[in-house]
Amino acid sequence: MAACAQLAQQIARRAKDRLGADGVNLLNCNGEAARQTVFHFHIHVIPRFKDQPGKDRIGLPWDSVPSNPDEIERVGNLLS
């Protein structure tokens, strides 16, 4: 658990430094009623952007929608 928390903190800092996020939500969904869709422990690191609705589209609860694989890879590379 400590290793997961440390890694989530590192990714959160990178989201702010490399993506220009104003803040970050760390979220764990536990159980189907909490909208957990992958049934193992994981932490969502969600970059938040003040006054930038085009970048800050995630509200709670959210619905999963397909995204552009190239954009996912680009952002993943920025955070790795």
Residue with the larger pLDDT of the pair 75 and 64: 75
CA 77-47-67 angle, 5° bins: 60
User: Which tokens sit at 22?
Assistant: 């104003």
Residue 56: its pLDDT value, please? 66
Query: All domains of the chain, ordered by start, with CATH?
Result: 2-64 (3.30.428.10)
Residue 3: its pLDDT value, please? 93
Q: Directed axis angle between helix 2-19 and helix 69-79, to 10°?
A: 110
How far does the chain reach from its first CA to its final CA, in angstroms? 20
Is 56 within 8 Å of 23 (Cβ atoms)?
Answer: no
Using only the alpha carbons of the chain, give its radius of gyration: 13
Query: pTM here?
Result: 0.70
- Give, for 46, the enclosing helix (H) or strand (E): strand 44-48
Q: For residue range 18-59, what is the model confidence (pLDDT) as tens digits?
A: 999 999 999 898 998 888 888 889 898 989 998 877 776 666
